[in-house]
C-alpha cells in the first residue's frame, strides 16, 4: 500500500492471569482526514465460552479499533503482538487452506476472533505492522496503559494524555 492510510490504529491487550484473566483491551484510532480521535478500553472477566487470555485480548483490541471505520478505508494497525500481526497477515492464508487447522493438524486457537477480524478487514484495506512493546513507543505505551488499566479495573490514560503524543508522532 503506497497510499497513506486514512486511519492509524494502535491496539493492545492484557490478561493478568494467562489463561484466566481478568483481561483488558486498549485501542487508539486517529482519522487523518478530519483529525478525529477515538480511543477506549474494555475489561473482561470472561470471554463467553473462552477463557480470557492475552492473545484473545490482543485480538479483541484490534477488532474494537476497526469497529465503525467506513468500508473501503485504508487503515494501518500497529500491535506489539507478533501473534496478532503474523496470524492476520500471514498464517491465516494457510489456516483457511487447511480447513482452520494448524500445520500439525490441531484446530486454530481463537478462530472466532480471527475470522471476525478477517471479515472486517475484507471490507477495509488493512495493513498490520508490528511495533516493539515496552520500548518507549508513545502510542504503544498508551494502549498498553489502557489495556492494563482495564484489566485491573483502574482508569487508563485520558484524551489529555493521548493528544500531545499523537501530535508528536503524526
Choosing from 47, 58, 76, 141, which is the catalytic residue? 58
Domain membership of residue 129 (yes or no) is yes
> pLDDT tens-digit profile of 134-161?
888 999 999 999 999 999 999 999 999 9
> pLDDT tens-digit profile of 39-68?
999 999 999 999 999 999 999 999 999 999
| Angle at alpha carbon of residue 75, lines to 147 and 122, rounded to 5° | 100
- Which among 20, 22, 19 is positioned nearest to 41, based on CA atoms? 22
Domain membership of residue 170 (yes or no) is no
24 is catalytic: no
Give me the CATH number covering residue 68. Answer: 3.30.420.10
Choosing from 48, 71, 93, 134, which is the catalytic residue? 134
Per the structure, the count of domains in the chain is: 1
134 is catalytic: yes
Contact 47, 29 (CB under 8 A): no
> pLDDT tens-digit profile of 81-129?
999 999 999 999 999 999 999 999 999 999 999 999 999 999 999 999 9
How long, in residues, is the chain?
170
Query: Over 60: is that where the pLDDT of 1 sits?
Result: no
68 is catalytic: no
Q: pLDDT confidence of 2, banded at 50, 70, 90?
A: low
Amino acid at each position: 500500500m503506497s497510499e497513506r492510510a486514512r486511519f492509524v490504529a494502535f491496539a493492545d491487550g492484557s490478561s493478568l492471569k494467562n489463561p484466566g484473566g481478568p483481561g483488558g483491551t486498549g485501542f487508539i484510532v486517529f482519522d487523518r482526514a478530519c483529525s478525529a480521535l477515538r480511543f477506549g478500553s474494555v475489561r473482561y472477566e470472561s470471554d463467553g465460552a473462552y477463557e480470557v487470555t492475552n492473545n484473545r485480548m490482543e485480538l479483541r483490541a484490534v477488532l474494537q479499533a476497526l469497529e465503525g471505520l467506513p468500508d473501503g478505508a485504508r487503515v494501518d494497525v500497529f500491535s506489539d503482538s507478533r501473534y496478532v500481526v503474523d496470524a492476520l497477515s500471514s498464517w491465516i492464508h494457510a489456516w483457511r487452506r487447511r480447513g482452520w487447522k494448524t500445520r500439525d493438524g490441531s484446530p486454530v486457537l481463537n478462530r472466532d476472533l480471527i475470522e471476525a477480524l478477517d471479515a472486517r478487514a475484507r471490507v477495509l484495506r488493512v495493513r498490520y505492522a508490528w511495533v516493539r512493546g515496552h520500548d518507549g513507543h508513545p502510542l504503544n505505551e498508551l494502549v498498553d496503559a489502557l489495556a492494563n488499566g482495564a484489566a485491573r479495573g483502574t482508569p487508563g490514560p485520558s484524551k489529555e494524555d493521548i493528544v500531545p503524543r499523537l501530535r508528536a508522532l503524526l
